[in-house]
Amino acid sequence: MTDGHDTSAHGRLESKDLLGLEDLTRQEIELILDNAEGFKTIVTRTVKRVPTLRGKTVVNLFFENSTRTRTSFELAARRLSADVINFDVATSSVTKRESLLDTVETIEALGADFVLMRHPSSGAHQYLGKQVKASIINAGDGSHEHPTQSLLDMFTIRENKGSLKGLRVCIVGDILHSRVARSNIHGLKRMGAQVTLVGPPTLVPDELRSLGLQICHNLKEGIRRADVIYMLRIQMERMSRNLFPSLKEYKHLYGLDDDKLSYAKSDALVLHPGPVNIDVEVSRAVLNNPRCKVIDQVTNGLAVRMAVLYLLRGAKGHAQTADS
């Protein structure tokens, strides 16, 4: 329900939760992206609030720091007229060693319909999804997945390229620690894109070739004929040892500047999930290039997360029609 007009595509997701893109079908991904198109019209208009989730309660439960994802989810829920609670882990009973399940069950007992969670442990969301009735939405779990980031990435690519099928997408950087990369690998391949991974051997697990991916350790070679170049943040906080000589060396070999960008197609898009280590992963000049869609990704994230909440709002996770 918007202001009396249905701006979203009808359909449903099979699960009450959004745990990862590995679990979604191509049709479900398309459904989310199609709904996001309608919600983007709401995001960009003067009156941005609609009553779709009136009476529902959304809890943001972040065990790791976040700016874009947490703020985006909060705004998405408020745009849909939900009540929003930002759970402060640092001042909660978690500090008294309360278990994750006990924490979420307490939140659910207080009336939470959605729990949007970021957690350092891979698989935490899958565990909770089986234990509680509330919809669990994965806002990032360890190095496993970050599904809504990938959905907004695919939305941005589709918005600019028209389709994902057959596109050459090059993902560059710290693949080893990146939940964003893993979600994008699942999503892009399911949508028919060709994926190449680029980075130093220490950051690009060779076993990923078994997923039908190409692996290259030379950036200029890897991005030749690329339609999309997806740069990743170096996650120093997840590294227990040095996996490359220095940031200067990394920038020289794998940082994207105007010279290296010239090896890709002339209309290749540049994406990054943020935050960007400017002039390390991506030069400031490339960030200012119209082909760089980092700011568009942020805007599109709001529309995509509104679509996810909309589609998960029904009983047992089945989306209702927009006029129900």
Give 180's contacts (C-beta < 8 A, 6+ positions apart). Answer: 146, 149, 150, 153, 232, 273
Q: What is the pLDDT of residue 98?
A: 81
Q: What is the pLDDT of residue 245?
A: 62
pLDDT under 70 in the chain at which residues? 1-10, 91, 96, 236-245, 314-324
Q: What is the pLDDT of residue 262?
A: 96
Residue 41, domain member (yes or no): yes
CATH of the domain at 195: 3.40.50.1370
Residue 264, domain member (yes or no): yes
* Whether residue 52 is found in the same domain as residue 102: yes
* Whether residue 194 is found in the same domain as residue 58: no
- Average pLDDT for the chain: 89
Q: What is the pLDDT of residue 45?
A: 86
* Whether residue 189 is found in the same domain as residue 286: yes
Cα dihedral 161, 184, 118, 59, rounded to 10, equals 40
**DSSP H or E run through 79:** helix 68-79
* Whether residue 46 is found in the same domain as residue 177: no
* Whether residue 203 is found in the same domain as residue 239: yes
Nearest-angstrom CA–CA distance, 319 and 167: 30
Specify the 3-state DSSP secondary structure of 130: helix
* Whether residue 217 is found in the same domain as residue 206: yes
| pTM of the shown model | 0.90
* Whether residue 282 is found in the same domain as residue 213: yes
* Whether residue 116 is found in the same domain as residue 152: no
Nearest-angstrom CA–CA distance, 233 and 212: 24
Residue 55, domain member (yes or no): yes
* Whether residue 141 is found in the same domain as residue 152: no
Q: What is the pLDDT of residue 319?
A: 31
Closest CA to 279 of 242, 245, 254, 243: 254
Q: Which domain holds residue 30?
A: 21-145+299-317
* Whether residue 64 is found in the same domain as residue 195: no
Residue 14, domain member (yes or no): no
* Whether residue 130 is found in the same domain as residue 29: yes
* Whether residue 78 is found in the same domain as residue 108: yes
Residue 3, domain member (yes or no): no
Q: What is the pLDDT of residue 66?
A: 86
Peptide bond before residue 275 is cis, with ω within 30 degrees of 0: yes
User: How many C-alpha atoms does 301 have within 13 Å on its Cβ side?
Assistant: 25
Q: What is the pLDDT of residue 240?
A: 53
Residue 8, domain member (yes or no): no
Q: What is the pLDDT of residue 9?
A: 58
